């Protein structure tokens, strides 16, 4: 019985040490992040959290909902783009915070500058810069398929050749020139 009690106490002590170490690591990480993050971003994050709390506490009335009438394929395209935007929005907790964004890009910049300095030293700085630009272009373009309900900027790829909002079409231009800009 004594052996089991010793084993239990040792296990409990080990768990407490692990929890203490995790808490200390989390606190040091938060201190480092607070040290790196400018005050402007801290204030912006607090204001955003306050705004979210205010929005969550308010209940919209029927008069706050916009009433729309849909006519033609242009409006259908805008409706499809609005529904895809609604599907793509992330819950408030899963969005990237400014603090995380600043730290992430600061680390990326430091790594890139270090590598660039190294390649400059071995006289391959221009090659490194060109490859960096090409990799940046590739990473900033989407290579995957369209999301469901997403409308393409090129109307020939959309269902019924529907164009997106803001596209200047020949028919619209002709109507505006003949009847004025108030006609749609």
The rounded distance, in Å, linking the Cα atoms of 174 and 182 is 13
Number of structural domains (the chain) is 1
Q: Is 39 part of a structural domain of the chain?
A: yes
Q: Looking at residue 91, what DSSP letter applies?
A: P
Average pLDDT estimate for 23-52: 76
Look-up: residue for tokens 């409990």? 12
Q: Could you give the residue ranges of the DSSP H alpha helices within 37-71? A: 39-57
The rounded distance, in Å, linking the Cα atoms of 105 and 151 is 31
Q: Is 105 part of a structural domain of the chain?
A: no
More confident residue, 81 or 153: 153
Query: Is it the case that residue 63 has pLDDT exceeding 90?
Result: no
Q: Is 38 part of a structural domain of the chain?
A: yes
- What confidence tens digit (pLDDT) does each residue in 150-184 have? 888 788 888 888 888 878 888 888 888 888 776 55
Q: Is 153 part of a structural domain of the chain?
A: no
- Domain range spanning residue 4? 1-58
Q: Is 78 part of a structural domain of the chain?
A: no
Q: Is 42 part of a structural domain of the chain?
A: yes
């Amino acid at each position: 019985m004594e052996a089991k009690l010793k084993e239990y106490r040792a296990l409990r002590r080990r768990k407490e040490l692990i929890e203490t170490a995790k808490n200390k690591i989390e606190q040091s990480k938060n201190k480092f992040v607070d040290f790196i993050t400018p005050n402007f971003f801290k204030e912006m994050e607090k204001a955003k959290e306050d705004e979210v709390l205010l929005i969550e506490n308010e209940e919209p009335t029927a008069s706050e909902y916009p009433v729309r009438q849909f006519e033609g394929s242009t409006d259908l395209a805008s409706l499809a783009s609005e529904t895809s935007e609604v599907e793509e929005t992330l819950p408030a907790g899963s969005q990237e915070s400014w603090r995380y964004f600043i730290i992430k890009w600061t680390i990326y910049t430091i790594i890139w500058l270090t590598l660039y300095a190294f390649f400059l030293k071995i006289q391959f700085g221009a090659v490194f810069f060109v490859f960096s630009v090409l990799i940046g272009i590739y990473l900033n373009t989407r290579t995957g398929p369209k999301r469901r309900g997403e409308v393409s900027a090129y109307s020939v790829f959309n269902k019924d050749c529907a164009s997106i909002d803001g596209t200047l079409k020949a028919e619209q231009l002709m109507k505006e020139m003949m009847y004025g800009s108030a006609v749609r």
